[in-house]
Amino acid sequence: MKEENIVKLIKKEPQDLNLQPVVLIYGYEDLLKKQLIEKFKNRASDFHFLWGDETNLNQLKTIFSSGSLFSKGNIAVVWDVDSFLSNLKKEHYKDFIEFLKKVEHPDMLFLVSSKEKLPTKSPYKEITSTVQLINSPKLTPKAFEISVYKKIEKAGKKIDIDTLKYLVSKLPRNLYDTKQEIEKLLIYAADKDEITKEDIDEIVLSKPEANIFAFQSQFLKKDITALKTLKILVESGQHPFEIQSFILNTLNKLLLYKSLQSKGVSKSESFLKAGINYRPQQQLIEDASKIWTLSSIIKAINLLYETEVHQKMYYAEIEKKLEEYVMKVILS
């Protein structure tokens, strides 16, 4: 089927959108994916938002086998369909494809992938030849600049071209975080007619160079700069759930190491049992054990579980809840 660009679709009115019953949306910009799906929410009698890592084929079949209470049909979204597919056994690939072929209007199924380029191997190969494809690509530098300008112009503010380029150079490269930064800037400059470089420097954070291990070090040291590093990790494509899994793994190792140490187990034996073999990581955990108490580690682990409940069961903004979690732990 012909592939559609998500930007063109979002510009249309909801009544003018005629998509196939099953749609696979992939690409970089999550904000655009959410905006498109929002246009369809009111079309359904029943709307289901599902996380790919917590959904199986039987659940999907159950949703679409039960008729809607009225006649508007069911709409389901499988967010992070990549995790769903990775958990799907190979012997069930054909069954899944046959299921997709049976979904018909007024029912709709949105499969949302974080991949910027879809794999050509199974089951993606069979899926892409069965469903409608929509690409949500990263905006070109010029399109990104125009998007920022329109947001400021819509708010009734002026900004000259040099200041606009300066602002763009400091912004994250995805629309979701850019939206938040621009909104903060507009609130700050609410009583002004024009945005200045001074306003930008006061509100918009520069993007640090970052990697997951820099974040780990800052997090364990309870260093507030971990929040900046976290932002750039998410902007560069690191999924919040991957970061949370990394945090949980780190805290579990720290908890085991500190517990063993409190029982008089030697340092080398504690590292061995905690699975910490790389010397720089050993030093990091050893230093962290002097900052963290056993109760604070357990509290951080429990808080992480609570965070995931809000993200996955109550559909809270994933990135925002992770940021709140990191801030709470660092400031505790």
pLDDT tens digits along 43-89: 777 888 898 888 999 999 998 886 555 557 889 999 989 989 999 99
Instruction: Report the relative pairing of strands 46-51 and 22-27 from DSSP bridges.
Output: unpaired
Residues 219 and 176 in one domain: no
Residue 137 has pLDDT above 70, yes or no: yes
Q: Are residues 131 and 148 in the same domain?
A: no
- The pLDDT of residue 67 is 58
| Same domain (yes/no): 30, 113 | yes
Domain stop point among 151, 180, 203: 203
Closest among 80, 162, 166, 167 to 115, alpha carbons compared: 80
Residues 326, 241 within the same domain: yes
Q: Which of 10-14, 151-155, 215-219 has the lowest mean pLDDT?
A: 10-14
Categorize the per-residue pLDDT at 210 as very low, low, confident or very high, splitting at 50, 70 and 90: low
**pLDDT tops 70 at residue 36:** yes
**Cβ 243 vs Cβ 215: under 8 Å:** yes
23 versus 177: the higher-pLDDT residue is 23
Do 21 and 104 belong together in one domain?
A: yes
Q: Which of 203, 228, 247 is the last residue of a domain?
A: 203
Q: Are residues 197 and 77 in the same domain?
A: no
**CATH number where 39 lies:** 3.40.50.300
Q: What is the pLDDT of residue 313?
A: 85
How many separate domains does the chain show? 3
Q: What is the pTM of this model?
A: 0.60
What CATH number should be reported for the domain holding residue 225?
1.20.272.10
According to the model, what pLDDT value does residue 66 have?
Answer: 67
| Separation of alpha carbons 45 and 20, rounded Å | 18
- Beta-ladder partners of 134: 4, 25
Residues 282 and 304 in one domain: yes
> Is 150 found in the same domain as 132?
no
In a shared domain, residues 56 and 110 = yes
Domain range for residue 177?
141-203
Whole-number percent of the chain with pLDDT over 90: 53
How far is it, in rounded angstroms, from Cα 73 to Cα 131?
18
Are residue 131 and residue 145 in the same domain, yes or no? no
By C-alpha distance, which of 295, 296, 291, 297 is closest to 274?
297
Q: What angle separates helix 161-170 from helix 141-154, to the nearest 10 degrees?
A: 110
Last residue of a domain, one of 136, 162, 191: 136
Same domain, 60 and 128: yes
